[in-house]
């Protein structure tokens, strides 16, 4: 009997979760485009949804580098799946299934942003634990954790009451996008394919 490769098995399960989350964001954004005249939109909500979709894709990309992990426990698997599951929950909070015909995404944003911020902080902590657990000697390790720590501090801005601190929320989303760009350009490794 031939056993499946553990990494590919675990990777496939994670990628299913990522695919569901990305699909949720894409369906939500397309719904938003189709209903932009009847739906109250908020640009921070829309950019946040795009960012969550990109974060899920970036997670799928970087999870490839876990191929070097030779031993997996169920706890490791749950930890590895925590970030894609968090992103899936956030995708559902950004675009609930029960959006009415005439909805107001500004209100959806105001209702869910503290929970979204808490989940985003949890994903940053989980990603750091994964790096310490699986990739302790990784180049740029310290810089990754500095950026994640800064992101956690910035995410705390989402706990300020909306709309009273609307400008803070707008600054936070811009800073998160800048952090994502820096992380992708300088700290996300490329995949080498050998023929």
Whole-number pLDDT of residue 195: 66
Nearest-angstrom CA–CA distance, 80 and 83: 7
Residue 47, domain extent: 6-187
Q: What are phi and psi of 104, to 5 degrees?
A: -130, 105
> In the chain, how many domains are there?
1
- Whole-model pTM above 0.95? no
DSSP state of 188: S
| Residue 154: inside a domain | yes
pLDDT tens for each residue of 95-114: 887 665 667 788 888 889 99
| Residue 194: inside a domain | no
Nearest-angstrom CA–CA distance, 164 and 184: 32
Whole-number pLDDT of residue 189: 80
| Residue 72: inside a domain | yes
Mean pLDDT computed over 68-95:
89
Cis omega (within 30 of 0) for bond into 163: yes
Q: What residue spans of the chain are helical by DSSP H? A: 6-34, 43-63, 74-94, 105-134, 141-155, 166-182
Radius of gyration for the alpha carbons in the chain, expressed in angstroms and rounded: 18
Residue 185 has pLDDT above 60, yes or no: yes
| Residue 60: inside a domain | yes
For residue 104, the SS3 value is strand
Mean pLDDT computed over 29-40:
82
69 contacts 7 by C-beta, under 8 angstroms? yes
| Residue 86: inside a domain | yes
| Residue 124: inside a domain | yes
């Amino acid at each position: 009997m031939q056993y499946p490769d553990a990494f590919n098995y675990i990777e496939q399960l994670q990628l299913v979760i990522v695919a569901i989350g990305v699909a949720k964001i894409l369906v939500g954004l397309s719904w938003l485009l189709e209903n932009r005249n009847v739906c109250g939109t908020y640009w921070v909500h829309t950019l946040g949804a795009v960012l969550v979709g990109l974060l899920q894709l970036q997670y799928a990309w970087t999870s490839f580098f876990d191929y070097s992990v030779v031993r997996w426990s169920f706890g490791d698997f749950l930890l590895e799946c925590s970030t894609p599951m968090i992103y899936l929950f956030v995708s559902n909070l950004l675009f609930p299934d029960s959006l009415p015909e005439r909805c107001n995404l500004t209100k959806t944003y105001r209702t869910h942003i503290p929970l979204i911020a808490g989940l985003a902080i949890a994903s940053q902590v989980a990603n750091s634990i994964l790096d310490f657990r699986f990739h302790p000697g990784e180049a740029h390790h310290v810089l990754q954790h500095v950026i994640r720590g800064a992101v956690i501090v910035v995410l705390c801005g989402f706990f300020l009451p909306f709309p009273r601190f609307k400008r803070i929320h707008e600054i936070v989303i811009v800073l998160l996008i800048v952090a994502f760009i820096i992380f992708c350009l300088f700290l996300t490794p490329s995949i080498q394919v050998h023929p």
